[in-house]
Chains A and B, each alone.
Chain A
Amino acid sequence: MGRSAFAGGVHPPGYKESTAGSAVQWAPVPSRLVVPLSQHLGAPCAALVQKGDRVERGQLIGDVDAMVSAPIHSPVAGVVTEIGTTLTAGGQRVAAVIIEPDEVQDLESFVEVPDTGDERARIRAAGIVGMGGATFPSTVKLSPPKGMKIETVILNGCECEPFLTCDHRLMLEEPARVVAGAEKIREMMDARRAVIALEDNKPDAAAALRAAATGAVEVVELPTRYPQGAEKQLIYALLKKEVPHGKLPASTGALVHNVATAVAMVDALEKGKPLTERIVTVTGSVARPGNYRVLIGTLVSDLIEYAGGLVGDVERVISGGPMTGMALGSLDVPIAKGSSGIVALPKGVAAPAISDDQPCIRCGRCPDSCPMGLEPYMLATFSGKRMWDAAAERHVLDCIECGVCSYVCPTNRPLLQLIRVGKSAAMSKGVK
């Protein structure tokens, strides 16, 4: 089973070799950008530009007056050709600003986010959200409820999802900025410690971070085990404190941000740079797997084409990692702030089609490996029988949807899929 810093979990094959050594390089500016006005958890933005408007790189093009939200900026200089809609990776149809970029782009310059002296306001104005995939507006996380004291700032560089190496490359190539991010957040929160945590499958990144680490910033390597990067499991691994059921992670005195998010914050505070591009790992069955710095709004189809196109028998294309990401029905969806990877899964690597007619053989793998201590086989049975109260009583809402139960099931039962149904039913009944 190997070492582990938390209970349960699995050790899937990493599939990281093909991109772990590939330095980040700019993906080209595409002929058209589709910039969704909702790239975050919370209220969608309204367009602040109209068809035919000229926009500059970094110009604010969407915002809304809501605390839980994040404004949207133009990634390029160009012309707005349409205010339309687009499908997102998650399959929703949302409003989008479609921009035709100028022939010549200066990607080094941008319209700066105004500095009002309030760091949290500037981070919000830069449109920064959690870049590990959750896309929760960062300013909200930086403003914990009154009375909650943050003792430890944790930068999450675990990158426990197979295939993905974007955070690995960021930590390896720009360790000083990651360290600066950790120190900056620690200072903002008046926290005692700042810890950069990563799995021990990235020793080169750990060494780079240690060499760059200053002051109160510590670098901690954790055993490689999925889902080490899940917020609750990460806090537990470092502090041996469990986030109490129904409480905010901040109640343990810990605040977790993804490493890329922290770097984006530093960029916003030091240079006034809005979030308009991110590193995306394009990997799996593509001709030229690699880590690309991609403008927000670049279509996945354009990005895959730049990576040499799909090769072989591709079963699924995933946005994000294969454990928690979303399968794309169409490749004409834009890269957004939370898009950490595009993974083309070939047949044989992709999970076989789920089958509900296979029996549970009570092997015990799902409860043994559930990092939340749940009994997935039972929750799935309750969901299948529409026993929502029973599922709620067995803590269905504590499920973090890491997917470990479905991953380990030898009869390939749709455990997480059924549990999700139970979660939404329990939530709609107002279970806490």
Chain B
Amino acid sequence: MSEETTAPARTVGSSPHISSKATCTGIMLWVVAALAPSAIWAVATMGMVAVQLFAVSIVAALGTEWAWNAIARKPQTLRDGSALVTGVLLAMSLPPRTPWWMVAIGAFIAIALGKLIFGGLGHNLFNPALVGRAFVTLSWGGVLAGVQNRGWFATLADFSAEGFDTISGATRLGIAASDRAASGAYGFDLAAQYQPLLLKNLEGSLGEVSAALLILGGLVLIIKGIIDWRIPAGYIGTMGLVSWAFGSDPIFHVLAGGVLLGAFFMATDYVSSPMSKKGRLVYGIGCGLFNALGRFVGPMPESTTFAILFMNGLAPLIDRMTRPRVFGVVKTDEERA
């Protein structure tokens, strides 16, 4: 045929031609929004120390990522929102009076060694915030246990008199663990702790201020379709079940310590968790199991960090073993292997 006008400034491309409105930044901001009630309540109950902790953690996380990209002459990636989430999560996983330089180093390690060194967002094997927290815990564990009384500007020298080997902090969980170890029974009523743990708890990490608000935030993320219920359900369910099997109070053990922050916000990190639905359930159960074993068998009442990091490492293997079944293909397990 004769005349064919070329199209004006319209685009072509292959299908699909529409996309969902979900974006990486949007997802990350929802996570921050879901953490906001806990964070605001922490600031309201603890005041300046909480503000300082958030500020240092977030600024150090964002600053590390910005500087890394600037030095490596890579495009800036702060807009994806993941460094912000790491900064907020790291702050919530630390005790409120952690000295500022520990927080800053933790955030640097989280971003640099937890994420960027692997190639950036999407390529890291472990949850960056937990990498940062693990570094701080392993480096200055004894200090952390005693920081409640030391303060924001404490230097290492301030702690040296006490030594670094006193692990047991003055949290309910720590006392419960040492009671158990000493006599096999508890020196206080665990059920009486539900209410403070749910509503207002000034012990432990910043994020432990209110279990109720963490659950609220987690439910929001599940309802919004941002996280899969399978991970927190597997995690919390297993934690409760194993606690019960060890003859302890399952509700206390779910509410106390880092379980809820871990189950709803740390273990559900996309990059470091499995891709399939079945895999996410297995992974959640694994997190709960190792967290519980750490409490009841191992030396660490606060075993959330290492339980999740361990399961992060197993996520690729879980993915391999829980591939979805292709429609119309019936295979035996032998053929799959």
Contacts and interface: CB of A to CB of B under 8 A. Distances in A.
Interface of A: 1, 7, 10, 12, 34, 82, 84-87, 96, 98, 162, 232, 236, 242-245, 247, 301, 314-318, 322-332, 345, 349-354, 357-365, 367-368, 370-375, 377, 395, 398, 401, 403-404, 406-412, 416-417, 420
A409 B19 CA distance: 8
Contact of B323 (A86, A375, A411): A375
Contacts of B247: none
B225 A410 contact: no
B27 interface: yes
Given A316-B12, A322-B17, A362 B270 contact: yes
B207 to A, nearest CB: 23
B329 A245 contact: yes
A406 B5 CA distance: 31
Contacts of A375: 275-276, 323-324
A250 to B, nearest CB: 14
Interface in B10-24: 10-20, 22-24
B167 interface: no
A417 B326 contact: no
A318 B17 contact: yes
B328 A410 contact: no
B37 interface: no
Given A362-B270, A398-B327, A316 B13 contact: yes
B18 A411 contact: no
Given A322-B17, A407-B20, A398 B10 contact: no
Contact of A345 (B17, B82, B329): B17
Contacts of B275: 362, 364, 367, 375, 377
Contact of B24 (A315, A328, A398, A410): A410
Contacts of B73: none
A363 B325 contact: no
A17 to B, nearest CB: 16
A34 B1 contact: yes
B120 interface: yes
A84 B16 contact: no
**What class of interface size applies to chain B in its complex with A?**
35 or more
Nearest to A84: B1
Contacts of B18: 12, 162, 322-323, 345, 349-351, 407
B233 to A, nearest CB: 15
Nearest to B25: A410
A315 B13 CA distance: 11
A290 to B, nearest CB: 21
Contact of B11 (A316, A359, A410): A316
B123 interface: yes
List 5 A-B pairs, minimum CB-CB distance, nearest first: A403-B16, A359-B122, A351-B19, A327-B12, A410-B22
A373 B228 contact: no
Contacts of B82: 361
B82 to A, nearest CB: 8
Given A85-B1, A232-B328, A314-B10, 9 more contacts: A87-B4, A327-B11, A329-B12, A331-B7, A349-B18, A364-B275, A365-B22, A401-B15, A410-B23
Interface in B276-329: 276-277, 280, 323-329
B78 interface: no
Contact of A352 (B12, B19, B27, B122): B19
Given A1-B225, A34-B1, A363-B270, A373 B327 contact: yes
6 contacts: A96-B1, A316-B17, A332-B1, A351-B17, A362-B270, A406-B16
B26 interface: yes
Interface in B27-60: 27
Contact of A330 (B6, B15, B326): B6
Interface string B202-230: 00000000000000000000000100100
A357 B120 CA distance: 12
A30 B82 CA distance: 56
A361 B326 contact: no
Given A328-B7, A351-B17, A82 B1 contact: yes
